[in-house]
Structure 1
């Protein structure tokens, strides 16, 4: 076996390469499969690597040698499905995988025509070729079934470009099969494959029982790949939508449209693979969409690179390493650097040679060969003759001729992978050949340096072969006083110093994540400063998830563009919706999962347990949760070395240390990689450990939220819902209503599988209570109706009445007064004879408010007094249960009584009642009730103390904004507009904007019971300022809405305003008609027109 690092032939039984010291793969003792050095368990059979096979037990066949005849396929699947003890191995996981199904066309006919022995030999030869194609591109052969092959790309080990690898493997398979058909004995028909490829989520792990148990995948992604293969014609490769989307930058396709497969819901968009593109486009980021931005946040690094090249041009060779994780901007910085080198006069003579190492892994001298191809101007599709001709031209340009060229040419052929056509090197020992190649490379570079300074750029050094790195170090050590600069880029790795030389100046530049300001600058450069300002909340979410990684920023935004969340309108961009999808872009997922898959198995398990705790975690908690506490310290050190996690500033031993994941998305990928059952188990262990730390009755808000989070995703979901409800109640107490809603909704989700339990009903009612004032009335109504149905079913009369009252209020606020009346009446009937004084008081208070809004002010005062009397008569027996409820109903009833008294001409009494209401409400923390008081007090003060009226409105508006109640914000803004325009000179600057904002809120929330108020206020402002045409339109709009409810305090100012406007315009008949309508409203409800003018809008 050749060493993957240096190409040296390693004898069987060696654990390490005697040439370069690289650890070698080891065979599984159970099945013989060659396992990677860091595998502890065989991915084929699940046995422990190195564990001896049991005595008398034959090694299980490897999956890529197992042939299942078609006739046995159905019975095999049936046996697997019914087998007892079927379960995945402990390291089974969820991941996105590209699945390839390849099938030989005409297998049955061919089997009939050929002798079975010949057919078996042909099959084995075919499988050998197909397996080689899969493995060459980093895939995994899952199994052979008859003449079909199932291969995986992305499992058990992920790569950043698995879909692309699968397509290249498919094309290689087709080519290999064609070549096999030319040399194999058969009936004369060409051997052809038809292939289906699909990318999507699967569950991976051990499948089967006993010796037949092996690594495999399950999921609809596999089924769809098989359907695509069945649909493909001979020689065709058909792919699914996600595979197409992830590879269209590198391959051309023909779309076959939507295809409906039998037995599958919905259709699948199918594409036929054509060929690789001659000039692939950018695979990642926004460059693929034609968007670009100047380099941001890398000025210091760029200047240091230019300074190093300046030194190199002066005769001091330089080695510069750019280090950073995938997507951090290494290639972008290199591109900017090379551009600057080409633009600046001081570097006009510098020769630049650029190459990139292949993610498929380099053969021996592969990285060095890439640089040589760059120097010679060789293209990807050049054949051997063209490459040899270009190499000869390069040597001529460098002055290498005659015997020297003849001596160097075979060595350079070897580097370029062109073999040894003249057998010149066949007798040279490997070690001697290596030395001669190093000397040849040094000679070529020296000749180039004799002409001009030389800059060699080698990107993605982490994929380079070991012998190429040794060659570059050899050259650098011997050319330290030349005009040479070697610039390499690579990801952080423990062996990243392989090129370091003691003779050459060495600069290592570590690229750190972009700051928040730099991230905003990047987005502003791409989409414009106006979008960044307008989409502030969305921008914060994008930057938080990206963690300062520029590529991640671009990929997340690209996903928003693909989903239509971010759209271009001309030269501007606009956000259609404001949420960042929780799905991780497939490109980022593959990139990060590839890092995780490189971890040793026990360290990977530790990372998974930490990921379930969250983006930040304490070592003490992880120790209490992990299945192997003894390896905690070593595991955390490894994760820090691999830059998966990092220590949070602090001191002490590892057991008292806190850590965080280096990237939020990295923690998310590791978490999503876990099977649902394992996530559930770990969440439960974390919840149990936290309960021990927090005690039986946790009080801290943070403890409630984290306990709720973990238990809600464990097997004890109801316990999680209890904690989340408590967290929501705590947030509600401080009027953090958005947070409270979020906790309640998570609690309700945790109880999805439960019936209508008391806990579930209580949470749903809380959601409704907060959703109504926030303008989400449909949500509130839906939850109220669900709760009401459950209470009716259980014959809980008092609870049913309470919910009916709340529904009535909701309906009243949207102008459906008839429906509201029926709900109130039904609630009253349920409470008849019930011992529920507080609920009775609430209902009477609500009926009083309803009477006031209907114009019956005496009845409103009567209902309010009844509610207050009900509270006063509460016995000590009721007191412990009704403390805050009694205060609430008292404050509301005082408010209702006050506005009724004001309409009856008792303004000073009204002010005292409202002030008492506000005092009680604020003392009890009932800020919503206090807002109603401020709304009415602002109106009442306009007749007593106008300056105080403005202060009251502003104070109330401040409270309404604090609690997020948009309804009261609209009311207070309208009152503020009246006060500012009546008593100050700030009408244009403060009054008009306040009225316009109130209209905007009312229309957005469909608050039709209040919308006429700001419309009337703004109409009156325009009327007073000589803009009758604007005033008429607003009055008419207000009248149209007010007519729906018939509320007199809304109808009167509309009629009165239209009357006076028509009078000013000499439309006497219309003026008379509107005056008559205004008088009719007052007469019908026994109202004083003067009172409606002085105190127009009370609630």
Structure 2
């Protein structure tokens, strides 16, 4: 059996093909449907069986009919004649189209008095009366290029915007309604004269998005749409009085400048949460003559001369002093941001021949692809295609880095390769924690750009910043913050839409990009718009427009609103369609200005061009829009199973819709403008999008079966937008895991959250594979619990403690398995610990341990016990802390976890350190160090050395302390571990400070402070700043010391770092004493003393007592000074702290001299012996 129609549309994927095929050439499924009663095969568009009359889709209705129309249809079905559409409408409707999302204006018209007329006259007579009326209404609708969707009894529903978009569909609908009203009212008067009965009408108009599908014009059917917009238009019609036209708020906003309207009643529509404001359409105010639109990129340059000149001057001035320049261009779509950036580069190139351009951009889909923009930047830097193999890039990158002569080139190369090929493993990077790997990648890219700029200035252009992925954005923010301190020569030019920032832009809000020029592009003035108009049409720029172009020019320029992109595209459309022609040296417009197809918005212009394409070209564009990235022609041909796509692709390129480039694997295509891609993608119904994403995912999966890891993000992107739930979960899981390893925490969290959304409706007994080999499976509940733990870990390591606590509060429930409750309590405790709420943190850990005691893996219990040990250390309950860590070590005897064993020893080392049990502390640090060496943990090795150095320092083993501090710094510098380098520099600076070596101390501490600031580590920066204050204090620069100490102390107080405050409080008090501001020193006691007593060690408590004695001495109370000095002596001498003992001996000498006591000589000899001991212990420092 051959179907009667020549075109068949697959009901699964909506692919259009010749009707003689039985299976879809796009998805492989049958294009026919089967009657459930007689089992005959039928075309997909049949609603009733052609053999037995059985209803095929009783539940498929395009939209519910308003109740009044249902009644009217029942009464008049037999007497309402079919109405033939005008030829123009038939021609439009005959083009078979897949279902699409469209913005349409809907007109509902209901004839009042029709039922009474039908009851009083013969049906044939009624038909003869009404038929001409409906034909004239149809003609009016066709006149304005609308489509009659259907006649239902005495009702008409017409659509404007399908199957082809127009620039002014709302206006066309309004004009048609007004003309139909006049027609029906005149008709009613004539009818009353002849039959004594009259008719009138009421109408409703609404604008909104519908799903519009193809029709069978050869069988007399019209275009069909589905959507709530239909019901809303019907509600307007039902509430209109006879002879009146009501429009919605959406229509009112678009019509108010061209039509007379007045506010009408609020309408409480069924199913609507809020009442609808109605407006009555009264008549025409003035006619809309033009539309707005979006143009493709143009090489024509007009205007913005002042902005360009200022930018050039800024850049050239800064280049002369070898400084980098950061420029940001913002503005609406089509305002000319990218074009200005290109022109800036070309002009600079004239004076800077060695200027090198590097380009990168983001896309709407790339927000969740880690390092997408940064990868593009590096590939542009290397002039590499996106599909370059690792082997090809490795060779090129090696040569490139060799030419730069970078130190640590081998490490930089591994870092850049891991950036470009994150699915590969690099032995040098395997043990680097994710957060440190991220920082080293950031630094590697910055080092390469800085070094390259020495060879010649760079012009780095980054487009569509609003879609930048968070990791690349973090790099950009960090790079610009360090711009004043690094040897970068060149320009960074950013372009960004002025619209509201997208998701991933939170980083910009938290850390705004500081530019040397932040330029918000305003619309071009009318004179420059006219100059552009003239230049495109090759007219004299400063002369008046020819008479034949005056009206056209005015219409276009008024609508352009100063957007050059719009002017270019409108003229391009007119020339392409030969509506504007040049004949015998004179321009000729082939239609009236009223009928001029000038789109009135960028989106409508894109749709107008899109609608003019052939069906297969539209489908091709939609496919490219779903793929997002530059798409190879080979991949498209595989997707379509058709090797003849080249001609269509080239045609779309020539039409200015697609960019054509030659990639590593042949021709590649992408959209010139991201907005074009957005608009075309949004034309597809969601069902079709899901099917398309599934096919793209399957194709990529098949082509990358040998090595799918490079495609994980793409596979996750496409399957998560399809109906392939299980594959979506698998690839999202793998993509999130990789993002987590890259420290791309935002992407990982979004992927994990997406998985949780997908899991919610799944059957609880489903099985889900989470690896490529399908060896690991999870039940939904298991996966939910696992993902919650992963999200908690990410939130903890990124310092998002408030979000961590919210996560725990949301999901912690007695209904969870005990182990899952315990794990969430563990993260709750870690979050409380970071808030310095140590007692509450311990309660959480204790509760977690009670839940899992004897019920879980010993390694899990050990983790909880170690956490208890650490928090008890902060609470000063050192014995409890030691017992907790010892319990953890005992649990790990049977099932070792080397990381937790090392962690336990480190905690115990810290506890013994704060108890001044130096040898015990060193022993635990040594054991941790041995484990770190076994597992080749260089970072842990460096940390343990640093901890050991602190012990050596406190026990006056200066030579050993400086040795391990320097060794730790050396390892950290080799690893480019900025955080570790800053810590080592702070340690060395503090050591030099204690020994009175102020110049080296200042050098180390300044470096530490700069690095901490760069890393945005508030606590580290505050400590380094305070230590610099101590350097000034040792130089007796008291005011400078106070200016450094005060903000550092304030920062630490805000972070609730009370364990660090006792020492700094004492130093601040000492400064006030030296300044003679005894009142300030006295006032501080009330707030400082409790903190020192609770959190200070014996050294700080002894120092507090010493300063109390010094206060008494300075204020003329020497007798009162004896008691606090005695207390200080009892506290300080057992500690062996030489610096404090030296200061105390000096204070005691002053006291006894003041009191005239004989013990002066005793303390003078004690001081002499102490200084001699210091010199013998570390002669190399004296």
TM-score tier after normalising by the smaller chain length: 0.5 to 0.7
Q: How does 1:762-801 map to 2 (within 5 A)?
A: 762-784=786-808, 789=813, 793=815, 795=817, 797=819, 799-801=820-822
Q: Distance in 2 between matches of 1:109 and 1:929?
A: 92
Q: Is the 8 A contact 2:247 2:281 kept in 1?
A: yes
How far is 1:906 from its partner?
A: 5.4
Number of the residue aligned with 1:134 = 141
Number of the residue aligned with 1:159 = 166
CA 1:55 to 1:716, structure 2 compared with 1: closer, same or farther past 3 Å?
closer
Number of the residue aligned with 2:358 = none
Tell me the SS of whatever aligns to 1:629: coil
Number of the residue aligned with 1:225 = 233
Q: Distance in 1 between matches of 2:952 and 2:634?
A: 60
1:665 matched to 2:675? The reply is yes
How far is 1:155 from its partner?
A: 1.9
Q: Is the 8 A contact 2:103 2:208 kept in 1?
A: yes
Number of the residue aligned with 1:601 = 615
Q: Is the 8 A contact 1:684 1:715 kept in 2?
A: yes
How far is 1:824 from its partner?
A: 0.6
Which residue, out of 822, 826, 835, partners 1:814? 835
How far is 1:98 from its partner?
A: 2.0
Q: How does 1:543-692 map to 2 (within 5 A)?
A: 587-626=601-640, 629=642, 632=645, 635-636=648-649, 639-640=652-653, 642-650=655-663, 657-692=667-702
Q: Distance in 2 between matches of 1:602 and 1:195?
A: 37
CA 1:467 to 1:606, structure 2 compared with 1: closer, same or farther past 3 Å?
closer
How far is 1:601 from its partner?
A: 2.7
Q: Is the 8 A contact 1:841 1:889 kept in 2?
A: yes
How far is 1:677 from its partner?
A: 2.6
Number of the residue aligned with 2:530 = 335
| TM-score normalized with structure 1 length | 0.57
Q: Distance in 1 between matches of 2:96 and 2:75?
A: 20
CA 1:919 to 1:1071, structure 2 compared with 1: closer, same or farther past 3 Å?
same
Write out per-residue CA displacement over residues 381-437 of structure 1, whole angstroms, 9 at most, x where no aligned residue.
xxxxxxxxxxxxxxxxxxxxxxxxxxxxxxxxxxxxxxxxxxxxxxxxxxxxxxxxx
CA 1:280 to 1:669, structure 2 compared with 1: closer, same or farther past 3 Å?
closer
Number of the residue aligned with 1:354 = 549
Tell me the SS of whatever aligns to 1:648: strand
Q: Is the 8 A contact 1:1032 1:1058 kept in 2?
A: no
Q: Distance in 1 between matches of 2:867 and 2:66?
A: 78
CA 1:894 to 1:1084, structure 2 compared with 1: closer, same or farther past 3 Å?
closer
Q: Is the 8 A contact 1:1035 1:1054 kept in 2?
A: no
Write out per-residue CA displacement over residues 652-671 of structure 1, whole angstroms, 9 at most, x where no aligned residue.
8xxx6543344433343333
CA 1:778 to 1:175, structure 2 compared with 1: closer, same or farther past 3 Å?
farther
CA 1:77 to 1:927, structure 2 compared with 1: closer, same or farther past 3 Å?
farther
How far is 1:740 from its partner?
A: 2.9
Q: Is the 8 A contact 1:1056 1:1075 kept in 2?
A: no
Q: Is the 8 A contact 2:66 2:231 kept in 1?
A: no
Q: Which runs of 5+ in 1 are unaligned?
A: 1-26, 31-37, 58-62, 79-87, 302-327, 358-369, 375-456, 477-483, 491-550, 553-585, 880-885
Q: Distance in 2 between matches of 1:250 and 1:1019?
A: 70
Which residue, out of 137, 142, 156, partners 1:149? 156
Number of the residue aligned with 1:901 = 912
CA 1:595 to 1:210, structure 2 compared with 1: closer, same or farther past 3 Å?
closer
Which residue, out of 217, 240, 246, partners 1:238? 246
How far is 1:1012 from its partner?
A: 9.3
1:761 matched to 2:785? The reply is yes
How far is 1:852 from its partner?
A: 1.6
Q: Distance in 2 between matches of 1:336 and 1:724?
A: 51
How far is 1:850 from its partner?
A: 0.6
1:846 matched to 2:854? The reply is no
Tell me the SS of whatever aligns to 1:155: coil
Q: Distance in 2 between matches of 1:630 and 1:294?
A: 37
Tell me the SS of whatever aligns to 2:1078: coil
Q: Distance in 1 between matches of 2:759 and 2:159?
A: 37
Which residue, out of 881, 893, 899, partners 1:860? 881
Q: Distance in 2 between matches of 1:228 and 1:801?
A: 58
Tell me the SS of whatever aligns to 1:673: coil
Number of the residue aligned with 2:719 = 711
Q: Is the 8 A contact 2:945 2:964 kept in 1?
A: no
How far is 1:141 from its partner?
A: 0.8
1:744 matched to 2:752? The reply is yes
CA 1:688 to 1:300, structure 2 compared with 1: closer, same or farther past 3 Å?
closer
How far is 1:819 from its partner?
A: 3.1
Q: How does 1:188-207 map to 2 (within 5 A)?
A: 192-205=200-213
CA 1:347 to 1:675, structure 2 compared with 1: closer, same or farther past 3 Å?
closer
Q: Is the 8 A contact 1:1056 1:1074 kept in 2?
A: no
Q: Is the 8 A contact 2:795 2:801 kept in 1?
A: yes
How far is 1:119 from its partner?
A: 4.9
How far is 1:216 from its partner?
A: 1.5
Q: Distance in 1 between matches of 2:148 and 2:234?
A: 15
How far is 1:748 from its partner?
A: 3.2
Q: Distance in 1 between matches of 2:547 and 2:953?
A: 80
How far is 1:268 from its partner?
A: 3.5
Q: Is the 8 A contact 2:102 2:209 kept in 1?
A: yes
Number of the residue aligned with 2:33 = none
Number of the residue aligned with 2:736 = 728
Number of the residue aligned with 1:1065 = 1077
How far is 1:693 from its partner?
A: 2.6
Q: Is the 8 A contact 1:177 1:193 kept in 2?
A: yes
Q: Distance in 1 between matches of 2:239 and 2:942?
A: 67
Tell me the SS of whatever aligns to 2:722: coil
Tell me the SS of whatever aligns to 1:889: helix
**Number of positions where the alignment pairs a residue of Structure 1 with one of Structure 2:** 783
How far is 1:220 from its partner?
A: 1.2
Q: Is the 8 A contact 1:204 1:216 kept in 2?
A: yes
CA 1:1083 to 1:995, structure 2 compared with 1: closer, same or farther past 3 Å?
closer
| TM-score normalized with structure 2 length | 0.54
Q: Is the 8 A contact 1:941 1:948 kept in 2?
A: no
Q: Is the 8 A contact 2:690 2:721 kept in 1?
A: yes
Number of the residue aligned with 1:404 = none
Q: Which runs of 5+ in 2 are unaligned?
A: 8-15, 20-41, 54-61, 78-94, 295-302, 304-330, 344-522, 557-567, 592-597, 765-779, 1104-1131, 1141-1182
How far is 1:91 from its partner?
A: 1.9
Which residue, out of 76, 82, 93, partners 2:100? 93
Q: Distance in 2 between matches of 1:236 and 1:972?
A: 82
Q: Distance in 1 between matches of 2:198 and 2:981?
A: 78
**Alpha carbon RMSD of aligned pairs, Å?**
6.1
Q: Is the 8 A contact 1:949 1:979 kept in 2?
A: no
Write out per-residue CA displacement over residues 259-315 of structure 1, whole angstroms, 9 at most, x where no aligned residue.
54233123445444455554869865899x9999799949999xxxxxxxxxxxxxx
How far is 1:223 from its partner?
A: 1.1
How far is 1:218 from its partner?
A: 1.4
Q: Distance in 2 between matches of 1:194 and 1:124?
A: 19
How far is 1:1057 from its partner?
A: 4.1
